[in-house]
Amino acid sequence: MNTRYRILKAEYLNVDTFLLTVQSELISKKARPGQIVTIKCGDEGGVILRRPISICSVDREKGTFDIAIQIRGKGTKILSKFKAGDMIDIMGPLGQGFSLYPKHKKIIAIGGGIGIFPLLQLLKDHPAENKKAILGFRNKSCVILEEEFRQACNELFISTDDGSYGDKGFVTDTLKKVMDKEPADMLFFCGPLPMMKLGVEIAKEYNTPCEVSMEQRMGCGIGACLVCVCKTKKEDDWEYTQVCKMGPVFSGDKIIID
């Protein structure tokens, strides 16, 4: 099994987030929006676990895909040192992506912070006629991939927590305003847990189906170790389900966000 691929481009999107373009016929052809890959950090520093990262976008013709990574700890710090031309060990695509149903004509993708990344390919691939994106960031310096998102959708809304760019406030505030004006028939969320929890509630209020992309600390990345679980409904009960294998994307009426 080959998991070693060449990095074609490595560039910073802002001070702590970088984007890698990787050459892989297999991953770019097979990947569906919302799926993840797991990346080996290398042998330095005793970092043994692969890092799960959402696929940000794919170029199926060129056979490449992009992943965007924020430096958060030791592992992502090591990954930030990779340069164009280097080989990198990537397993994927893994997990379940977003649902692309033709019956959904008006969709809204709502993302917060680094949660915006998997939404880019979702917007590119979704067959809906009307595609909107609502992206939230901490402040102006955190705003990234704005142009890429603008091109992938019909209408883009940006908000920042401090109002230094776009609207001041949270994406969920913008979502309500947008839904009041022109309701969508499907919502997609990816971002911090409180944002997704509120998002699922708003979707319910508007009687609109939704999907959320969950994040959890992972072990094997393929569903064997039962480490990266989240709560999901099971008949009248609930169970812990693997985020890596059964997710990271879950239906809003299946997921339980405590």
Partner 1 sequence: MRENINLKVNIGGLELKNPVIAASGCFGFGREYSRFFDIKRLGGIAVRGLTLQPQKGNPPPRIAETPSGILNSVGLQNPGVHTFIEKEIPFLRKIDTTIIANVSGNTIEEYESMAEILSNADVDAIELNLSCPNVQEGCLRFGSSAQKVESVVSRVKNYAKKPLLVKLTPNVTDITEIAKAAEEAGADSVSLINTILGMAINAKTRRPILGSITGGLSGPAVKPIALRMVYEVSRAVKIPVIGMGGICNATDAIEFLLAGASAVMIGTAGFANPMVWVETIEGIEDYMAENSINSVTELIGGLIV
Binding site for partner 1 (CB under 8 A): 1, 40, 45-50, 74-75, 91, 216-230, 239-240, 245
Which is nearer to partner 1, 66 or 215 (by Cβ)? Answer: 215
Cβ 246 to partner 1, closest distance in Å? 12
Which is nearer to partner 1, 60 or 72 (by Cβ)? Answer: 72
Closest of 95, 103, 92 to residue 39, by C-alpha: 92
Which is nearer to partner 1, 42 or 209 (by Cβ)? Answer: 42
| 93: Cβ contacts below 8 Å, ≥ 6 apart | 27, 30, 31, 32, 35, 36, 37, 55
Which is nearer to partner 1, 192 or 209 (by Cβ)? Answer: 192
Which is nearer to partner 1, 42 or 169 (by Cβ)? Answer: 42
Alpha-carbon dihedral of residues 57, 12, 7, 228, nearest 10 degrees? -60
Cβ 234 to partner 1, closest distance in Å? 10
| 218: Cβ contacts below 8 Å, ≥ 6 apart | 38, 49, 50, 52, 227, 228, 243, 244
- The answer to whether the CB of 91 falls within 8 A of the CB of 26 is no
Cα separation, 92 vs 188, whole angstroms: 22
Cβ 230 to partner 1, closest distance in Å? 7
Cβ 70 to partner 1, closest distance in Å? 16
Task: Please give the single-letter amino acid code of residue 183.
Answer: P
Cβ 40 to partner 1, closest distance in Å? 6
Residue 96: phi and psi, rounded to 5, are -105, 130
